[in-house]
Structures are given as structure tokens and as C-alpha cells.
């Protein structure tokens, strides 16, 4: 990762700590996991998926983009399409400790949204007598009702960083684990290192446009209900080939699959968009 | 920021309050963690300092409690609260925040399709210097003692730096020279096909390595070097160790130049060996074999008495569609060795002692130059490489004892080759290949022998050969099937002549010592090849057939031979984690033509060789299976291989004694052997301590049946070995490396078994970092070699090194090796009638001061 960071031309602030998180989404027993990294420094931090950052970096380099295309088609041909690196986990959260504000970059399909949110929207209530050891650190429990979900977080008072995975921050120590009451979404730290790496700037900030958070989530929900209608405005050509994770499929199967996801109770990290 | 700490209110409370201040500027510090810990070290209460640096915690009691204040970029403060009055001002000093680190998984090893990316920073330990040191710690990658790199049990087929193949097979220059701090990531490309034109047409089961440099090391010259001097107790005198490494990796120009010299026992051959070298088709071999006395099986730095110098400069220019490379190396190596064997015969009339001392020196100069032009594109591949290697090897060896003598051999070697290859791809899946290879070598050998009685003998051998190979091939691919046909012609002309000493004065050997031999051949061949790709399976069938006419100019009868050596391989990769392969083949091959010489040739002061009377072919069969598994997320890599082979050789070597002389000759025989070999290897990252571990094992059994002159000899040699290594960095001030290897072997002849003999080697190294500028390493080795059943020779070696890092560019070090000053490796074995004592020298204690500079 150090490598990609150094590719960025803008002089950036340095991180003091690097934390790796497993982000897990458990939809009725089937668990999907993704890697995220938090690089946190004195003035700010960035929470990102390393593959998404890698893809964003190569999207600016013609030679690298071609190499990626060759790799993708090679994997696709040999029936290993599901191994093609992709941006399916591409959320970025940049926090500014001076401004006490976070900037969230999120996307689905070809929609890229960015919005700001003050730290104050999240409040933690410490449950001081509940402790747990994570990565060798004694962690204290804190709870927060945040944007529709009931979150339980475990933070390490001994790590003097008021940061955490995703949009979490503001606990009196680094948050190493966060789970919500439905047991669907969770973040768990898998590693922690001191570092002096540069915090990367958003590589493709140019792709995102400002959007209201609630409106963005509503449109994303609509997309999930029927991805193909959303992509083609409902006018899917009759001879269109649909390939999902390297496997050829049909429009109907895609619809059934997304309905299944929603029927099994899946919902986003934030659920306060349901009006 | 807003949070509510629920603190139970009670009477008779202690109000732990105060202020956190930056000692440097007396400014209040906001957001510091303020924690009260109980006697058990558990967190009792905590808060963060407010905007004015203040904090307040109410506690029922603070008996045996401590207050800990932490903030990033400041050293942690820990204050016992028993006799403290409040409010308290806590001064924080700028420093490193010490955390118990656990490596971030996502970053250590990543996988993108067939490329595995290892993050160098997360594998490097404090005492590592070069990228080679770090490669050894990466699971899945194995670096042998000589510097050769394997990935999942297979040799790599290319070593790139920023995607360019600057060094070819001499990648040891890079692994030994490039500082690990200049490399961001190591990429392993599985199933790497170096020729783009063959991609999708010809399968490769080999992997390549690419070093991705950090930005600071790109588009500029980087230098690093060190110079050291000191004193050695054996050999007594001054020692030196110096190295200069310069590198420029730019878009259109690359250069790596290195100069290295030492007399401290460091073997530089890992920097000058070409790991991708093809076997020379000139096929010459030295008849003269004057070798230095052997050294004990300890590591080189304990046994090598050397003066070594090496300079290598490698450049690459890219222009247009192609690139031009020039690699020029020169090395000098002077090695001395000394050994004594004392054999005592216990006789009734008293002991008889025979002592043999051997002392020798080897001077070797090597000069090599290689010029390559290459175009490597999707539709065309052109490569021409012109190479020359010149070696001068002078050995002198003095022997005292039953046949006191001095031998000196001059063994220069001159070699030139030019290889041209062109591949053109057209209409998408049709390939045409042309190849032309020409090689020439001359290997004159001079042996001079001076006996104690002032008599001297000389032998001169002149031996040169020219080899040429022209071929054309056509291949096409339809629906996953590649069919190709290669056809060509090979020509070979060799002439050897020798004239040597007449030893009739010394023994009853009166055979002639004059040889004039020509061994020439002309071969035409065709190789149909069939490759079938279906999704995750690749099947390759090779059917090479050749016809050869051998002309031996009356030395032995001329021959015409037909050779057919089919082979089949199957590769299966059901997922990106697992791959398996099965191979099998059989074939017939001609004998080594160097064995044809009617007269005698002297090998050394007491051995002579006589040639074959017949032309022989040997035949062989082999089958093997291998697998590899990886789970990059868990940092787990495993591979295994099992192979069985059968060989049939229709001749054997016989030895006859003439007085003090041994004459080796060849005789018809039926010599069948069967070999079974199995090996496995498992590597795993240990993220909790930023380390990794590895376990390996191997087994081999070689059975041979020899029927010669109605005598039958059955011999079975069996051996197995296990090894393991582990390294880690469990806390900021400490890291360690440990390695153990154990092997056991036995020889059985005609049902009579000798005992199992084992060797064991342990190596431990501990590094302490009491302060970020200081580093102290203590390391030791223990060897336990079994000389005869239950009789062991133990050797312990102890080293230490202190390093002081003045700044990022300058470092000073002092090292003391072989602290215990073990100077010799002696052992004695006893039999009923005699004892045998061997004495060999080791490098003694050595003190070295050095300075390292980086740019």
C-alpha cells in the first residue's frame, strides 16, 4: 500500500497508526467479508478498502489499466472471473479532526456520491464495567444509536486515538470492534501497527458528486431491488450478455437473486432512509 | 466530541484531577488518554484531556493504582498514585508511542489474479539489510544458501526490477545489494510466460519475481555502501570487508553497478552465479581434478579462507520497441585450505603413524560479458544474446605423507556463444519460430607434478569444441489446442589431444599417455508438440525424435543412433489456491563423449583415467506428481512433490591399483538404479508477532543393482531430513530468528547395513533494540555431526554485533565473530586395528568495525 500512497503527488499528512479491519456482512448465515484499512494521523484519517484504492490508482495509469484489463480477461476466460479484483467494497471515509467533520465517499453501480457529516451526529455512551480483550488490548464497551442501527463498540483506552472503523470516531480510545444489534454488520480489527506512511488523498475525487445521504441511500435501495432496470432504464437489449462474478446468467436470475438478498432481511449500514 | 462517562457517585472519594502539558512548549494537550489502572493492571477508569488539557476522574480509592497518560507521538507516562497530591500536572515528552503491534493482514500478502504481492515492510526485521534477507522470511518463497530463489518448490524463471529484466540469472547482485528499505513490494507472478508472444499459447508452470521499488528509489541514482576493517586471530592479520552498490531505475535507462571485496569468509559467488544458465552444449569437462582439501560441513563464513573481489556493471537501454542490455562482470577469488589426516595402525611391535598434510591455494579470475538485444511484444519476439566467459583457474596443492609431492594445475577456460531467437505471431494464433545457436569453447589443462625425489612430470591437454544448432518451428492454436512442430539440425566438432608424463619409472604403468581424439556428430531432429487447454487443465505431450551420426575418427567405431524421448505432463488448477501437476517421460541418451580416449589421462598425483572402448547409450524413465496450495489471506503456503525414476546404464567405472596409483576405467556392466524422492514444505505468516515460520521435510531412497564381471552389487542409500525455521518481532525492542535442520542417512550394500548417521544444525539469532539508534545482535550456531554410530562431533559458534544508527544515512557497527575462537575442526574415529584423526582449520575470532552509508 505504501507504494500506491507514494504515487500520489499532493503533499499529504502522515499517519501515526494503521489498523486493519475485517468488515463482515452476515445475511442469514452467509457471511461476506472485506478488508478495510484505517490510516489515522494527528489531523485526520482515511478508512478505505485496499483493493478499491489500488483500482483507483491504476485507473489513472494507462499501462496499468491495460495490464488490469488483460488480467481480468485472462481470469474470465479460465473460469476464474470471481477472482478479478473489483470495487465491490469501495467505501471511503475521510475524517478531519480539526474541523470535527467526516467526508463519506460511497458508490454503487455507476453512481458516485460524496457528503459531509459533523462528528456530533454520533454520540457514545460508555458501559464502563463491560470489557473484552481484542488484539491483546483491554477494550471497554460503548453504545450508540446511529442512523437507524443500535451499535455496540469496543474501544481501547490505552490507544490514544479517537478514531475507529467506517464513520466511527469520538470514543475515548481507538475502536477495535463494532457490531450492531441485528448481527448483520460488524467491523473487527485484525492488526494494528505504528506507521509514518502518508495518508492518501482521494485518488478519484473527480468521480463523486455531492448528494444528500438519505436520497443516496434511497436510490441505492431501489437499485438493489432491481439492478438491471436501474442500469438500463428498464430497456435491456434482448441479446445482452449478463456476467456476474465470471458466470453467465440471465436478467431473471439477477432479479431473483437480488430479491432473495432483500427477502433475507439485508439492509445497509444505515437504515434511517426508510421513511 | 461528546460522550457521557457514567461514574458512580459515592462518598469519601478521591478526585484524580490535573492537566496534561507538552513538556516541549508548556502548551496543554487535548485528547490525551488518561487511565487509572488497578494493582492488577486492569483499567479502572479513564477519560480524555479537555481542550485546556485538564482531566478529572473520581475514584473510591487510589491505593496501589497507577495513572497512565498516553498520546500519539509522545512517550507514555505512568505515575503511581499512592502518595500523589492533586491537581497533578503531567508533562509529556515527544517520543514514540509504544504499542503492541499486530501486523495488518490485508497489507502483508495480497493477491490479484495470478500475482501475489508481499509487503516488504511487514516482513523486514531490524537486523535485515538487503532485500534478500527479507525474501527469506516470506512464506512460499525459499532462498537457498547459494542465493537461488524458489517459489512453491520450483525455481523462478525471471527476476524483474520494476518490470525489467536487467540482471538475467545473476539476480544475486540485486538480492544482496538492494536495500530492503528501497523496495515497497515483492510481486510473485505465477505461471509466468516471459515471452509475451507465447501468452495463451504455451503454458508455463514457473513463477517470476518482480521488485516494486519505492518512489524515492526510482528515477534517481541510489547508492549504498559499507567499509569495514579489523583483525582476525586465524588467519592472523588484518581483515577487510567493503561493498559499494549503485542503482538507477529509470523509464528508459537502468543500471546496477556493484563492487564487493572481503577476506572475512563471505562467499561472493551468490552475486556472480547465473541461476538461469543453460548447460553448455560444447560439453567439455575437466580431466584434471586437483582440488583443495575439503572443509568441514559448517557454514562458509566459518571455513572459507578467502580474498575475494567482484565488480559487476549492468545496463539496460530501452529504445523504440526493443531494449539493449550489457552485463559485464569480473571477479577474483583466492582460497586457501589446509588439512591433515593422521592414521595410526595399532601393531604388536608398536604403533605405526602415517600423517598426510595437504595445503593448497586456488586463484581464480573470471571475466564475463553478455550483450542482449530483445524485442518482447504480443506479436513478435526477437532476442539475440552474445556472451563470453573467460576463467583462469590456477590450483596448487602440496601434499606430505606417504607420497610427498607438489601439484600445480593451470585450468583456463574460454567460452563464447551467440543465441538468436525470433518468434512471430500472425493471424492471432499462428506462430513461426527461428533459432540459431553457436557455441565455442576451449579448455586447455596443464598439470605439473613435482615429486619429493626431485622428479617432475607434466601433462598438457588441449580440448576444444564448436557446436551449432539451427531450427525452425511452426505452431498454431485452435480452440484451446496448440499443435507445434519444430525441426532442426545440430552439428558438433570437437578435438582433444593430450600428452603426458611417462610414469614407467615410478610404477609398472607403461601404457601410452598420448591421445589424439575427434568426437563429432551431426543430428537432425523433429519435435512434434501437442498442448491442450481446457479451462483449468493443461495437457502437454512432447514427442522429440532425432537421428544422430557420430564420427570418432577411429578412436572407437562410428555410430548411427536414433533417439526418442516422449514426455507427458498434466497441470490442473481447479482454483487459485490449489494446483497440481503430473509428469512422466522416458528416453535414451548418449554417453558423455569426454570418456572416449584411447590413452591414459592423469587426473591428479595418484589417479589416472582410461577411456571407454565402446559407445554407450543410457536409458531412463521417470514419473512425478506435485501440488501446491496457498491461502494468501491466512499467509499459508504449502507444496509437495514425489518422484520416481529408473535409469539403466550399460557400463560402470572400475578401479585398479598399480602400486601407489589408481587407474579408473570403464567396463561393460548392467547397472540399473531406481530412485524415489519426496519432499514437502509448509510456510505460514505469524501476524501476532510480525513473523513467519516454515517446516520442511524430505525423503530419498536410491537403489542400484550392478552386475559386472559376474559380480553383483546391490546398494541402497536412504536418507531423510526435516527442518524448521521461525522468526518474529514480538515486541518493539526484540526480534529473533531460529532455524533447525536434522538429517539422517544410511547405506546398505548387499544386505549389509551400515548405521544411520545424522547431522543436526541449530542457529539462533536474537536482536535487541534498547533505543531506536542502537541495536545489539547475539547469534550462535550449533552443529552436531555423527561421525560413526553414536559418536558425535559438536561445534558451537557464537557471534555478536552492535549497530549504532547516527541518522538515516550513516550507521556504525562493530562485530565480533567466533567469540569462543574455535580454530580447528578435529575428530578421531576408531576401528579395531587403527584410528583415523582428521584436522581441519576454522576461521578464528574476528573483530570488525564498519561504517555504512546510504543515499
Subunit contact B687:A190, Cβ cutoff 8 A: yes
The pLDDT score that the predictor gives to residue B724 is 96
pLDDT in tens, A4-32: 444 443 446 889 999 999 999 998 888 88
Hey, which residues 63-92 in chain B have their CB within 8 Å of chain A? 68, 70-73
Q: Hey, is B738 helix, strand or coil? A: strand
Q: What cell was used for B484? A: 507445434
**Spatial CB neighbours of A257, under 8 Å, sequence gap ≥ 6:** none
Which architecture, in CATH terms, is A2-205?
Answer: Clam (2.50)
State pLDDT tens for residues A38-47.
Answer: 999 988 999 9
Residue B93 backbone dihedrals phi, psi, to 5 degrees: -100, 135
Largest CA distance in chain B: 116
Per mean pLDDT, which of A62-71, A235-244, B754-763 is the most reliable?
Answer: B754-763
Mean pLDDT of A61-80: 77
Q: Are the Cβ atoms of A172 and B115 closer than 8 angstroms?
A: no
- Predicted local confidence at residue B199, as pLDDT: 80
Q: Using a CB-CB distance cutoff of 8 angstroms, which residues of chain B are in contact with residue A158?
A: 33, 35, 43, 68, 70
Tally C-beta pairs within 8 A across A and B: 162
Q: What is the pLDDT of residue B764?
A: 97
Sequence ranges of the domains in chain A: 2-205, 212-263
- pLDDT at position A228 is 67
Q: Which of B525, B649, B625 is nearest to B568 (CA)?
A: B625
Output the average pLDDT for chain A: 84
- Chain A CA closest to residue B120: A2
pLDDT bracket for residue A233 (50, 70, 90): low
Q: Which residues of A touch B3 (CB under 8 A)?
A: 123-126, 142, 170-172
Q: Assess A193–B contact: CB distance below 8 Å, yes or no.
A: yes
Phi, psi dihedrals of residue A232, rounded to the nearest 5°: -100, 15
3-state helix, strand, coil in chain A (%, to 5): 25, 40, 35
> If you average pLDDT over every residue of chain B, what do you get?
90
Q: Does A196 touch chain B (CB under 8 A)?
A: no
Nearest CA in chain B to A34: B106
**Inter-chain CB proximity A162 and B35 less than 8 Å:** no
CB contact, 8 Å: B45 with chain A?
Answer: yes
Q: Do A78 and B536 touch (CB under 8 A)?
A: yes
Alpha carbons B776 and B734: distance in angstroms, whole number: 10
Select the residue of B121, B184, B535 nearest A78 (Cβ to Cβ): B535
Q: Which pLDDT does position B427 carry in this prediction?
A: 86
The whole-angstrom separation of Cα B125 and Cα B767 is 9
As a whole number of angstroms, the distance between CA B230 and CA B228 comes to 7
Say if residues B513 and B587 touch (Cβ distance below 8 Å): no
Task: Give me the residue from B3, B104, B114 closest to A171, CB to CB.
Answer: B3
**Mutate: best of B9, B112, B163, partner A, most A CBs <10 A:** B112
Q: In this complex, which of B4, B113, B535 lies closest to A125 when CB atoms are compared? A: B4
Instruction: Spell out the domains of chain B, with CATH numbers in brackets.
Output: 14-92 (2.60.40.10), 105-249 (2.170.130.10)
Where would I find the beta strands (DSSP E) of chain A? Answer: 15-27, 30-41, 44-48, 92-96, 101-108, 111-118, 124-134, 137-146, 149-156, 174-180, 185-194, 209-210, 242-244, 247-249
B100 touches chain A (CB under 8 A): yes
Q: Does B808 touch chain A (CB under 8 A)?
A: no
What is residue B508's predicted lDDT score, i.e. its pLDDT? 61
Are A2 and B31 in contact (CB < 8 Å)? no
Residue B214: which of A3, A16, A170 has the nearest Cβ? A3
Of residues B48, B119, B215, nearest to A6 (C-beta):
B215
10 Å CB burial of residue B674 (0-12, 13-18, 19+) is middle
> Residues 6 or more apart from B330 whose CB is under 8 A from it?
B310, B311, B312, B365, B366, B367, B368
Does the CB of A248 have a partner CB in chain B at under 8 Å?
no
Give the pLDDT of residue B719.
Answer: 95
CA distance B276 to B419: 15
User: What averages of pLDDT result for each successive group of 10 residues across chain B (855 residues)?
Assistant: 41 81 89 86 83 88 87 86 85 79 79 87 89 94 91 94 93 94 92 86 89 87 94 95 95 94 93 91 94 86 95 94 95 94 82 87 96 93 96 94 89 97 91 96 94 84 96 90 94 93 62 88 96 87 96 91 96 90 96 92 88 93 96 92 96 82 87 95 91 96 86 91 94 92 92 90 95 92 90 93 92 96 88 83 95 92
Chain B CB within 8 Å of residue A136 CB = yes
- Rounded percentage of chain A residues whose pLDDT exceeds 70: 87
Residue A238 Cα, gap to closest chain B Cα (Å): 27
Q: Decide which of B460 and A76 is more confident.
A: B460
Q: What is the ipTM of this complex?
A: 0.77
C-alpha B431, offset from chain centre: 36
Amino acid at each position: 500500500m505504501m507504494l500506491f500512497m507514494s504515487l500520489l503527488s499532493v503533499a499529504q499528512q502522515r499517519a501515526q497508526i494503521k489498523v486493519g479491519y475485517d468488515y463482515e456482512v452476515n445475511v442469514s448465515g452467509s457471511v461476506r467479508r472485506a478488508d478495510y484499512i484505517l490510516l489515522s494521523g494527528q489531523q485526520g484519517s482515511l478508512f478505505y478498502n485496499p483493493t478499491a484504492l489500488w483500482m483507483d490508482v491504476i485507473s489513472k495509469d494507462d499501462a496499468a489499466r491495460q495490464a488490469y484489463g488483460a488480467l481480468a480477461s485472462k481470469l474470465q476466460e479460465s473460469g476464474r472471473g470471481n477472482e478479478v479484483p473489483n470495487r465491490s467494497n469501495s467505501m471511503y471515509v475521510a475524517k478531519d479532526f480539526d474541523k470535527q467533520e467526516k467526508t463519506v465517499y460511497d458508490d454503487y453501480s455507476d453512481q458516485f456520491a460524496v457528503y459531509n457529516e459533523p462528528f456530533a451526529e454520533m454520540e457514545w455512551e460508555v458501559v464502563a464495567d463491560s470489557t473484552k480483550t481484542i488484539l491483546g488490548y483491554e477494550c471497554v464497551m460503548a453504545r450508540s444509536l446511529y442512523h437507524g442501527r443500535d451499535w455496540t463498540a469496543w474501544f481501547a483506552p490505552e490507544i490514544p486515538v479517537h478514531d475507529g472503523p467506517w464513520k466511527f470516531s469520538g470514543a475515548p480510545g481507538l475502536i477495535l470492534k463494532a457490531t450492531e444489534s441485528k448481527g448483520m454488520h460488524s467491523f473487527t480489527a485484525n492488526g494494528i501497527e505504528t506507521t509514518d506512511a502518508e495518508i492518501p488523498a482521494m485518488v478519484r475525487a473527480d468521480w463523486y458528486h455531492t448528494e444528500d445521504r438519505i436520497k443516496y441511500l434511497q436510490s441505492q435501495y431501489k437499485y438493489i431491488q432491481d439492478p438491471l432496470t436501474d442500469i438500463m432504464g428498464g430497456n435491456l437489449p434482448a441479446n445482452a450478455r449478463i456476467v456476474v462474478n465470471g458466470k453467465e446468467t440471465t436478467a431473471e436470475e439477477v432479479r431473483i437473486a437480488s430479491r432473495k438478498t432483500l427477502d433475507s432481511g439485508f439492509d445497509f449500514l444505515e437504515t434511517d432512509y426508510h421513511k | 466530541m461528546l460522550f457521557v462517562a457514567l461514574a458512580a457517585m459515592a462518598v469519601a472519594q478521591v478526585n484524580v484531577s490535573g492537566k496534561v502539558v507538552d513538556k516541549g512548549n508548556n502548551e496543554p494537550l487535548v485528547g490525551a488518554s488518561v487511565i487509572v489502572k488497578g494493582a492488577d493492571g486492569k483499567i479502572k477508569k479513564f477519560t480524555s484531556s479537555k481542550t485546556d488539557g485538564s482531566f478529572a476522574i473520581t475514584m473510591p480509592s487510589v491505593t496501589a493504582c497507577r495513572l497512565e497518560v498516553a498520546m500519539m507521538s509522545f512517550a507514555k507516562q505512568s505515575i503511581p498514585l499512592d502518595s500523589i497530591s492533586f491537581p497533578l500536572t503531567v508533562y509529556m515528552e515527544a517520543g514514540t508511542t509504544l504499542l503492541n503491534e499486530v501486523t495488518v493482514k490485508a497489507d502483508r500478502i495480497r493477491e490479484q489474479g495470478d500475482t501475489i504481492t508481499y509487503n516488504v515492510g511487514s516482513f523486514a526485521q531490524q537486523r535485515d539489510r538487503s532485500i534478500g534477507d527479507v525474501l527469506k522470511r516470506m512464506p512460499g518463497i525459499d532462498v537457498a544458501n547459494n542465493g537461488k530463489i524458489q517459489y512453491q518448490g520450483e525455481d523462478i524463471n525471471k527476476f524483474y526490477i520494476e518490470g525489467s529484466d536487467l540482471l538475467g540469472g545473476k539476480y544475486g547482485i540485486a538480492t544482496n545489494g538492494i536495500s530492503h528499505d528501497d523496495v515497497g513490494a515483492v510481486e510473485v507472478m505465477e505461471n509466468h510466460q516471459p515471452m509475451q508472444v507465447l501468452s495463451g499459447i504455451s503454458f508455463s508452470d514457473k513463477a517470476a519475481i518482480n521488485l516494486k521499488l519505492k518512489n524515492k528509489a526510482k528515477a534517481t541514482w541510489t547508492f549504498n555502501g559499507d567499509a569495514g576493517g579489523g583483525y582476525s586471530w586465524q588467519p592472523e592479520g588484518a581483515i577487510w570487508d567493503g561493498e559499494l552498490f549503485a542503482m538507477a531505475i529509470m523509464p528508459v535507462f537502468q543500471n546496477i553497478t556493484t563492487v564487493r571485496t572481503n577476506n572475512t569468509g563471505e562467499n561472493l559467488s551468490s552475486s556472480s552465479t547465473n541461476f538461469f544458465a543453460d548447460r553448455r552444449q560444447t560439453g567439455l569437462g575437466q580431466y584434471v581434478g586437483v582440488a583443495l582439501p575439503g572443509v568441514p560441513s559448517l557454514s562458509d563464513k566459518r571455513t572459507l579462507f578467502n580474498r575475494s573481489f567482484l565488480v559487476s556493471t549492468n545496463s539496460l537501454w530501452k529504445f523504440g520497441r526493443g531494449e539493449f542490455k550489457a552485463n559485464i562482470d569480473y571477479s577474483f577469488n583466492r582460497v586457501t585450505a589446509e588439512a591433515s589426516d593422521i592414521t595410526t595402525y595399532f601393531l604388536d611391535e608398536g604403533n605405526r603413524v602415517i600423517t598426510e598434510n595437504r595445503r593448497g591455494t586456488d586463484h581464480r579470475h573470471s571475466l564475463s560479458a553478455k550483450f542482449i538485444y530483445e524485442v518482447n511484444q504480443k506479436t513478435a519476439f526477437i532476442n539475440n544474446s552474445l556472451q563470453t566467459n573467460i576463467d583462469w583457474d590456477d590450483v596448487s596443492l602440496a601434499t606430505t605423507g606417504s607420497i610427498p609431492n607438489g601439484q600445480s594445475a593451470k585450468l583456463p577456460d574460454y567460452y563464447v556463444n551467440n543465441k538468436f531467437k525470433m518468434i512471430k505471431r500472425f493471424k492471432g494464433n499462428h506462430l513461426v519460430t527461428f533459432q540459431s545457436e553457436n557455441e565455442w569453447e576451449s579448455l586447455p589443462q596443464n598439470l605439473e607434478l613435482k615429486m619429493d625425489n626431485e622428479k617432475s612430470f607434466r601433462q598438457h591437454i588441449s580440448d576444444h569444441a564448436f557446436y551449432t544448432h539451427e531450427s525452425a518451428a511452426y505452431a498454431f492454436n485452435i480452440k484451446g489446442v496448440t499443435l507445434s512442430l519444430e525441426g532442426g539440425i545440430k552439428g558438433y566438432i570437437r578435438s582433444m589431444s593430450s600428452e603426458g608424463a611417462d610414469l614407467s619409472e615410478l610404477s609398472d604403468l607403461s601404457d601410452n599417455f598420448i591421445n589424439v581424439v575427434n568426437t563429432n556428430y551431426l543430428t537432425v531432429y523433429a519435435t512434434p508438440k501437442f498442448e491442450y487447454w481446457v479451462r483449468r487443465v493443461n495437457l502437454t505431450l512432447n514427442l522429440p525424435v532425432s537421428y544422430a551420426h557420430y564420427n570418432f575418427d577411429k578412436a572407437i567405431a562410428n555410430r548411427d543412433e536414433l533417439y526418442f524421448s516422449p514426455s507427458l505432463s498434466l497441470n490442473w488448477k481447479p482454483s487459485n489456491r490449489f494446483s497440481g501437476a503430473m509428469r512422466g517421460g522416458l528416453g535414451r541418451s548418449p554417453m558423455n563423449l569426454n570418456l572416449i580416449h584411447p590413452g591414459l589421462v592423469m587426473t591428479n598425483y595418484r589417479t589416472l583415467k582410461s577411456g571407454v572402448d565402446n559407445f554407450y547409450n543410457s536409458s531412463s524413465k521417470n514419473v512425478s506428481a506435485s501440488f501446491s496450495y496457498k491461502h494468501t489471506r491466512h499467509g499459508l503456503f504449502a507444496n509437495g512433490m514425489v518422484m520416481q525414476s529408473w535409469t539403466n546404464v550399460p557400463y560402470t567405472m572400475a578401479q585398479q591399483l598399480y602400486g601407489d596409483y589408481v587407474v579408473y576405467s570403464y567396463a561393460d556392466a548392467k547397472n540399473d538404479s531406481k530412485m524415489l524422492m519426496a519432499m514437502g514444505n509448509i510456510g505460514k505468516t505469524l501476524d501476532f508477532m510480525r513473523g513467519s515460520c516454515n517446516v520442511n521435510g524430505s525423503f530419498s531412497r536410491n537403489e542400484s543393482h550392478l552386475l559386472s564381471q559376474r559380480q553383483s552389487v546391490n546398494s541402497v542409500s536412504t536418507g531423510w531430513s526435516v527442518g524448521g525455521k521461525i522468526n518474529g518481532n514480538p515486541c518493539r525492542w526484540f526480534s529473533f530468528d531460529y532455524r533447525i535442520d536434522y538429517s539422517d542417512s544410511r547405506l546398505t550394500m548387499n544386505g549389509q547395513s551400515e548405521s544411520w548417521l545424522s547431522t543436526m544444525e541449530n542457529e539462533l539469532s536474537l536482536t535487541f533494540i534498547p533505543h531506536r539508534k542502537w541495536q545489539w545482535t547475539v547469534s550462535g550456531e550449533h552443529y552436531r555431526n555423527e561421525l560413526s554410530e553414536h559418536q558425535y562431533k559438536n561445534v558451537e559458534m557464537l557471534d555478536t554485533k552492535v549497530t549504532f544508527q547516527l541518522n538515516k544515512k550513516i550507521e556504525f557497527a562493530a562485530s565480533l565473530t567466533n567469540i569462543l575462537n574455535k580454530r580447528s575442526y578435529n575428530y578421531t574415529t576408531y576401528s579395531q586395528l587403527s584410528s583415523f584423526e582428521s584436522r581441519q582449520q576454522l576461521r578464528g575470532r574476528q573483530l570488525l568495525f564498519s561504517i555504512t552509508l546510504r543515499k
